[in-house]
């Protein structure tokens, strides 16, 4: 049966980034700049995405503004009829370039911050002075009249500042705050002992979010979900494998999720060899965990199978070494106790962050 078209496409334009966040969702092996798709390649991908039925395009990285052709890329995407969301650190965009992006048809900006407190934010990002630049960029976004979301990745080292992060979102004029708990694959898995929050922290944060939601209703909406390591039910990762979203990485490989390359033995096809629609509908990688036919163990026949789609394949592999296992976030998984073990281990971390390898890019406007 032909699957319905994806709603969204996440275009990882580049892995280059001035920041070095220790929970980066990019793979441990970062793509080199000379292997990135060209402007013409991306323009073709955007046209094919729109023809396939994609509505929303998320321009991400690394730092997407490290691409000199970002304005041109937005223009191609808007020309194809896609809603364009720029996910950025705000470190490489000045007022002129932002105005050009708005002129080219950019619809929305999603700005990441590492903390509310500048010293802590800069330490987490591995970039002195970065937080101040982000705040300045947020001012440019509101001046340009672009709607924007503040995105805060939270973990043990900043979760106690959530109240201040909410205040920062209000001060900056964001309409939405996305509070995203770290997900543990790739760089974040390497740093898990430094990042996993405690149960007490999590409980305080959850109460705080509920209060802030009611206090700021109609002004600021707050996205927040309980992190997997404290959950009893898994989330439908990416809305289910091969169901709602596809990811194109900087070199053109098409992935069902941003961490899929961590799964061994899988072959991901490229937009340089095959069109997006046929990769979506019939490539082996997208078929592998689509639907429920691949499930076994407690997932097979479970009443929730078409609600959470078995959770996250990358998390199942990261924790159990078996990508077909039930996601340990599920209380029915025989591996559920692995989460408790990880939380206990994280109570006494050794050493410091392992920062993401820094891609050498200039941080001035390109
Ligand atoms: Fe979801 Fe599988 Fe757990 Fe059922 S057993 S709730 S399908 S992860
Ligand atoms: Fe790959 Fe969840 S991140 S399936």
Kindly report the backbone phi and psi dihedral angles of residue 48, in degrees, each rounded to the nearest multiple of 5, phi listed first: -65, -35
Nearest listed ligand to the Cα of residue 312: 2
> How distant is the alpha carbon of residue 246 from its chain centre?
12
The neighbour count for residue 30, using CB atoms within 10 Å, is 18
**Which residues sit opposite 57 in a β-bridge?**
9, 84
Nearest listed ligand to the Cα of residue 328: 1
Q: Which of 298, 307, 333, 336 to mutate to test the pocket of ligand 1 (most atoms within 8 A of CB)?
A: 298
Ligand 2 atom nearest the C-alpha of 238 is 2
Using CA positions, which residue lies closest to atom 5 of ligand 1? 299
> What is the model's pLDDT at position 212?
97
At 352, list the tokens: 């410091």
C-alpha 245 – ligand 2 centre gap (Å)? 11
Long-range contacts of 327-332 (CB under 8 A, 24+ apart): 327/228, 327/234, 327/237, 329/228, 329/229, 329/231, 329/232, 329/233, 329/234, 329/235, 330/232, 330/233, 330/234, 330/298, 331/232, 331/233, 332/298, 332/302
Q: How wide is the angle at C-alpha 324 spanned by C-alphas 303 and 332, nearest 5°?
A: 40
Output the CA torsion sign for 275, 280, 282, 287. Answer: positive
Q: Is the CB of 189 under 6 A from ligand 2?
A: no
C-alpha 304 – ligand 1 centre gap (Å)? 6
Q: Report yes or no: 20 and 49 within 8 Å, Cβ to Cβ.
A: no
Number of helices and strands in the chain (H, E): 14, 9
Using CA positions, which residue lies closest to atom 1 of ligand 2? 314
Residues 6+ apart with CB under 8 A from 149: 108, 109, 110, 111, 174, 175, 176, 177, 178
DSSP state of 247: E
Q: Is residue 119 packed enough to be buried (19+ CB in 10 Å), middle (13-18) or exposed (0-12)?
A: exposed
Using CA positions, which residue lies closest to atom 6 of ligand 1? 304
CA atoms of 295 and 23, how far apart (whole Å): 29
Q: What is the mean pLDDT of each run of 10 residues along the chain (366 residues)?
A: 94 95 92 96 98 98 96 98 98 96 98 97 96 97 95 96 98 96 92 94 96 97 93 95 98 97 95 98 97 95 96 96 96 96 86 73 35
C-alpha 238 – ligand 2 centre gap (Å)? 7
Q: Is the CB of 260 under 6 A from ligand 2?
A: yes
Q: Is residue 342 packed enough to be buried (19+ CB in 10 Å), middle (13-18) or exposed (0-12)?
A: middle
């Amino acid at each position: 049966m032909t699957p319905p078209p994806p709603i969204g496409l996440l275009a990882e334009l580049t892995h280059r980034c001035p920041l070095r966040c220790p929970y980066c969702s990019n793979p441990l092996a970062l793509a080199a700049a000379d292997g990135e798709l060209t402007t013409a390649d991306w323009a073709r991908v955007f046209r094919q995405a729109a023809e396939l039925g994609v509505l929303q395009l998320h321009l991400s990285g690394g730092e997407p503004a490290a691409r000199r052709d970002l304005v041109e890329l937005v223009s191609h995407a808007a020309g194809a009829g896609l809603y364009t969301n720029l996910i950025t650190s705000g470190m490489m965009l000045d007022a002129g370039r932002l105005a050009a992006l708005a002129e080219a048809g950019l619809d929305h900006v999603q700005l990441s911050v590492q903390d509310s407190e500048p010293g802590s934010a800069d330490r987490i990002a591995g970039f002195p002075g970065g937080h101040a630049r982000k705040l300045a960029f947020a001012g440019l976004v509101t001046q340009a009249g672009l709607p924007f979301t503040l995105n805060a990745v939270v973990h043990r080292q900043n979760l106690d500042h959530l109240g201040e992060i909410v205040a920062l979102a209000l001060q900056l004029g964001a309409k939405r705050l996305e509070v995203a708990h770290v997900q543990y694959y790739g760089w974040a898995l390497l740093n898990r002992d430094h990042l996993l929050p405690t149960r007490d922290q999590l409980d305080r944060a959850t109460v705080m979010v509920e209060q802030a939601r009611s206090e700021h209703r109609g002004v600021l909406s707050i996205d927040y979900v309980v992190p997997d390591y404290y959950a009893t039910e898994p989330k439908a990762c990416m809305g289910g494998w091969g169901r709602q979203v596809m990811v194109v990485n900087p070199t053109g490989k098409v992935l069902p999720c941003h961490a899929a390359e961590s799964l061994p033995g899988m072959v991901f096809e490229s937009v340089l060899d095959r069109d997006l629609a046929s990769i979506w509908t019939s490539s082996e990688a997208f078929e592998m965990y689509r639907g429920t036919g691949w499930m076994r163990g407690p997932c097979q026949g479970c009443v929730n199978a078409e609600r959470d789609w078995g959770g996250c394949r990358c998390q199942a592999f990261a924790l159990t070494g078996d990508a077909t296992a039930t996601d340990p976030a599920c209380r029915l998984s025989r591996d559920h106790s692995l989460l408790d073990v990880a939380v206990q281990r994280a109570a006494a971390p050794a050493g410091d962050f392992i920062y993401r390898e820094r891609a050498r890019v200039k941080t001035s406007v390109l």
